[in-house]
Chain A
Amino acid sequence: MVNHEQTYLPGQSGEQYQFLLSLLNHPIFIENADRKAEFVNPAFCALLGPDFSPDKLQGADGKTLHMLMGMQCKHQEAYTGGVENAIHSGQAETGVATELKNGRFLHRDYYPFIANAQLRAHIWVYQDVTPLHQGADSLKSERKAFMQVLSVIPADIAIFSPDHRYEFVNQSAVQDPGVRAWIIGKNDTEYCAYRGKPKELADQRAQYFQQALQRKEVVSWEEVLKDAKGNEHYYERTFYPLLSETEEVASVLMFGLNITVRKQQEQQLAMAHQHYLKTLDNLHEAVLMADGELKTYFINDAWRGSFGKTLEQARNGIIFDLIALGNYEFYRQVFSVLSGFTENVQGRIDIKDKAGRKRWYKYKISPGMREGEQKGILATLNDITEQVHMEENLLEVVKKQKELNDLKSAFVNMVSHELRTPLAVISSGAEIMQMMLQAGRPKEDMEVYTKQIINEVEKMTAFMNDLLMVSKIEAGKIDFRPERVSLEQFIKELAGERYMPWKDGRQLSIQSKGLLREIGIDKKMFRHALQNVVENAFKYSSGKAAPRLHIRYSNTYFTISVADNGIGILSTDIKELFTSFTRGKNTGNIPGTGIGLVVVKYFIEQHGGFVAVKRKAGEGAVFMIKIPYLPA
């Protein structure tokens, strides 16, 4: 506190000080206790107007001077009132603001001068603070504009001091202007308590606030608030620390967005996604989704069920695991979709299932969607194994049917030929005889025709018997009746009857090896079978060396083989050699019924034996009949 008693030197003795005071830029006005102007400096005079000077004002009435001063102020009453109040209170005061009519700002100080417990003078000191005021004003308007901007932003905005107290909230954050005023200086705990929100919410906010404060980083989190109706509202809140020039946190901006709609959409989307995945899982088709590098990121239940592997087991290249790269057509289509060259492709492929069985699938490949982007592929595999099998079966049936039809027409042709040829011989022979009779030719001339007719009838009978035999065999109506015979004798008798010589003059050669013995055979069946094999050998080797018959007795069985140098058997015909009405493709027009070997096989099998055929390298064929000895 300045000791005015020591420094104030009034009246005549204070001339030096008065001179000094007059040099100061601050306007100064001193009244004595009687309120007469004791001192004014030029600066004070300048405030009142150009017509005033210290000389003129010396000794003037103090109240009048204050009135003159008041006339310069914007609020005259306020100024003069303030002055009287100050004098009345007798208390020093500083910095009382006054705005002048000319737009300038003054601060007024008042000091009562007391000496020896007696009021001696009133000292008024003025200070021009216009520049200060102007700065504060522009700050104020900037702040106002800033706040207005923040207020109209459709988001919750608050500014906190570093000790987490509200410095500002906008209209969106707090709608009630009363609360908006109230909240300034409060913290979140107080605000939550005021709003009746759980304390945990305030704690959570405080925690994030500290995090933002300490790390000087932006922190975001989600808040769920329930309204009175129990509906959930989601907010995304963010603390932005605002740093001063010294890198200290000056304040913290909080930004809050209502993301309830977005959240609901996300939840709906998630539900839709779940539903979609569930639907995929319920599909009969196996579904796979892979990215642009064909890395799989989804397979459905059907896929797992069919191929065993889970996504984790085969995340890299589940397609490659399943479908060999050599499957050119499939991968060509996959890459064609991947490259965007084609939209959708489909085809058929066979894949081994988890049990290693080959199954057929119809595949479809479409462009995949990932994170809203067209990327990778979506592949579905539809198991069509049953369908393929049915198709195959159907084809097989159709093929069989066609074969059967072919067989039937071959049979009809064969029967027709086998009957028409002898009939032609018979009818022509008969007509010739008739003509001979009419011409009166001798009976002897006709003998050749009667023989012919008898022969042809025998042939036809034999053929009919063949047919009958087959039908009997097929109906299971032939009994096996074995008896003991000497094979040598049996064969020699048969050969003597028919093959010594054969029709074309060739002779069958017969050889035997091993210990001769009696064997048990059904003579009818055996004769039929042997005759058939030997006659085939002659028939198909016309013009070549005569067929050779070998008998070989082994310990437990005997073998008869008949070899010829004829046309042989095509490898493609071997399979159907013993099938009814089928004939080798190389038999041309050599007559035959396609029945013979069927009967041979059946009869030999009745003996417990079998017939084998061997193709010879050069030409011809060897038929072997192997029969075990019947127990005695």
Chain B
Amino acid sequence: MSQQVRILVVDDELPLLNNITSILELFGFQCIRANSGYEGLIQAIAEQPDLVVCDVMMPGIDGYGLLKMLRNYPATKNLPFIFLTALADVIDRKKGMEHGANAYLTKPFNTKELVDLVKLVLADPTQFRL
């Protein structure tokens, strides 16, 4: 990778935020951290990351809200977006994809799953994965 890929990680659960970024960094990605939906929005616009990994259930702006705003903003309109959430129900997966996510991953996850999905989405952002 000539230029390091930058991933924005959004999760209100601090220990998990730390772990996700640690894992991604171990696999050579550069991470931007956001502890809330609001912070995630600011960072996405300011830092223009290559991909977002985001929780759904957060106080204030939740994952759906953040994705919706990003999709409405020209600069982030096509920003690859992965939901990483405890909402494991099929209905929730469907809802997440309808909001325009590229992929959906449920907690608890394993490292390989996460890293593979990130790579796949980066390789072809037009593909959608449930």
Does B4 interact with chain A (Cβ within 8 Å)? no
Q: Are A589 and B59 in contact (CB under 8 A)?
A: yes
Would A423 and B107 be within 8 Å (CB), given that A432-B19, A456-B15, A589-B12 are in contact? yes
The interface residues of chain A lying within 8 Å CB-to-CB of B88 are: 416, 420
Neighbouring A residues of B107 by C-beta, 8 Å: 420-421, 423-424
Whether B57 lies near A424 (C-beta < 8 A) is no
Residues A452 and B62 in contact, CB atoms below 8 Å apart: no
B60 touches which of A417, A449, A588 (Cβ 8 Å): A588
Is A432 within 8 A of B23, CB to CB?
yes
Q: How far is the CA of A413 from the CA of B108 in the complex (A)?
A: 14
What CA separation (Å) do A542 and B106 show in the bound complex?
A: 26
Q: Which residues B14-57 have CB closer than 8 A to chain A?
A: 15-16, 18-20, 22-23, 26, 56-57
Q: Which of B19, B20, B59, B108 contacts A588 (CB 8 A)?
A: B59
Residue pair A416, B22 in contact (C-beta under 8 Å):
no
Q: Which residues of B contact A431 (CB under 8 A)?
A: 23, 110-111
Let me know if B16 and A589 touch, CB within 8 A.
Answer: no
B86 lies within 8 A of A416 (CB): yes
| A486 on the B face (CB < 8 A) | no
Residue of B nearest to A436 (CB): B26
Which A residues between 399 and 431 are near B, CB-CB below 8 angstroms? 413, 416-417, 420-421, 423-429, 431
Question: Hey, which chain B residues are within 8 Å of A452, CB to CB?
Answer: 15, 18-19
A455 within 8 A of B: yes
Complex formed: what's the CA distance from A423 to B60 in Å?
24
Chain B residue at minimal CB-CB distance from A503: B14
Chain A residues contacting B56 (CB-CB under 8 Å) are: 589
Q: Which of B70-117 contact A (CB under 8 A)?
A: 86-89, 106-111
Q: In the docked arrangement, what's the CA distance between A427 and B19, Å?
A: 10
Q: How far is the CA of A588 from the CA of B20 in the complex (A)?
A: 23
Contact A425 B59 (CB under 8 A): no
Q: Tell yes or no: A2 within 8 A of B by CB.
A: no
A435 within 8 A of B: yes
**A420 B19 Cβ-Cβ under 8 A:** no
Q: Is B121 located at the chain interface by the 8 A CB criterion? A: no
A261 at the interface (CB under 8 A from B): no
CB pair B57 A428 closer than 8 Å: no
Residue A49 at the chain B interface, CB threshold 8 Å: no
- Chain A 435-464, CB within 8 Å of chain B: the 1/0 string? 100000000000011001001100000000
Q: What are the residues of chain B within 8 A of A305 when measuring CB–CB?
A: none
B23→A428 contact, CB < 8 A:
yes
Contact of B108 among A424, A455, A589, A591 (CB under 8 A): A424
Task: Assess whether A421 is in contact with B109, with CB atoms less than 8 Å apart.
Answer: no
CB contact list, A449-501 vs B, under 8 A: 449, 452, 455-456
Q: Which of A413, A452, A589 has the most CB of B within 10 A?
A: A589
Residues of A within 8 A of B22 (CB): 432
Residues of A contacting B86 with CB < 8 Å?
Answer: 416-417, 420-421, 424
Q: A413-B87, A420-B86, A589-B62 are in contact. Are A432 and B110 (CB under 8 A)?
A: no
A590 CA to B87 CA, complexed, in Å: 14
Number of A residues near B (Cβ < 8 Å) is 25
How many of chain B's residues touch chain A, expressed as a range?
Answer: 20 to 34
B14 to chain A, nearest CB (A): 8
Partner of B15, one of A425, A589, A590: A425
> Once bound together, how far apart are the Cα atoms of A431 and B22, in whole Å?
11
Known contacts A428-B108, A431-B111: A421-B13 contact under CB 8 Å: yes
Q: State A589–B108 Cα separation when bound (angstroms).
A: 18
When chains A and B are docked, how far (Å) is the Cα of A140 from the Cα of B111? 141
Q: How far is the CA of A381 from the CA of B122 in the complex (A)?
A: 73
Residue of B26, B57, B86, B109 with most chain A CB atoms under a 10 A cut-off? B86
Give Cα A425 to B111, complex, Å.
12
Q: Which residue of B lies closest to A427 (CB)?
A: B108
How near does chain B come to A208, taking the closest CB pair, in angstroms?
97
- List the B side residues contacting A428 at CB < 8 Å: 16, 19-20, 23, 108-109, 111
In the bound complex, how far is the Cα of B22 from the Cα of A420, in angstroms?
19
Across the interface, which residues of A come within 8 angstroms of B62, CB to CB? 588-589
Contacts of B57 in A (CB 8 A): 417, 589, 591
Docked Cα-Cα span, A485 to B9, in Å, equals 48
Q: Which of A544-589 contact B (CB under 8 A)?
A: 588-589
**Chain B residues closer than 8 Å to A417, beta-carbon distance:** 57, 86-87
Cβ contacts under 8 Å, A423 to chain B: 107-108
> Considering the chains assembled together, what is the distance between the CA atoms of A421 and B19 in angstroms?
12
B88 (CB) vs chain A CBs: closest residue: A416
Closest approach, in angstroms, between the C-beta of A234 and any C-beta of chain B?
Answer: 86
Give A419 Cβ to nearest chain B Cβ, in Å.
8
Bound-state CA distance A452–B15 (Å) is 7
A420 to B56, CA, bound (A): 13
Assuming A413-B89, A431-B110, is B16 touching A424 (CB within 8 A)? yes
How far apart sit A424 and B107, CA to CA, in the bound complex (Å)? Answer: 5
Chain B residue with minimal CB distance to A587?
Answer: B59
Q: Which residues of B contact A455 (CB under 8 A)?
A: 15
Q: Are B110 and A425 in contact (CB under 8 A)?
A: no
Q: What's the Cα separation between A435 and B24 when bound, in Å?
A: 12
A209 to B6, CA, bound (A): 129
The contact string, 1 if C-beta is below 8 Å from chain B, for chain A 195-217, is: 00000000000000000000000
The smallest C-beta distance from B10 to any residue of chain A, in angstroms, reads 12
Tell me which residues across on chain A come within 8 A of B13, comparing CB atoms: 421, 425
CA–CA, A428 to B21, complex, Å? Answer: 10
Complex Cα distance A36/B108, Å?
Answer: 175
Which residues from B are CB-within-8-Å of A421?
Answer: 13, 16, 86, 107
Chain B residues positioned under 8 Å from A589 (CB to CB)? 12, 56-60, 62
- Chain A residues with CB under 8 Å of B60's CB are 588-589
Instruction: Report B-chain residues with C-beta under 8 Å of the C-beta of A448.
Output: 18
Which residue of chain A is the closest to B92 with respect to CB atoms?
A413
Residue of B nearest to A456 (CB): B15
- In the assembled complex, the Cα of A416 lies from the Cα of B18 at a distance in Å of 22
**Contact A590-B59, Cβ < 8 Å, known A416-B87, A420-B108, A426-B108:** yes
Contact of A425 among B16, B58, B87, B106 (CB under 8 A): B16
Would you give the shortest CB distance from B100 to chain A, in whole angstroms? Answer: 19
- Which 7 A-B residue pairings sit nearest by Cβ, starting from the closest? A424-B107, A420-B86, A589-B57, A428-B19, A423-B108, A417-B86, A424-B108
User: Can you list 12 A-B contacts (CB < 8 A)?
Assistant: A417-B86, A420-B108, A424-B16, A424-B108, A425-B15, A427-B110, A428-B23, A428-B108, A428-B109, A588-B59, A588-B60, A589-B58
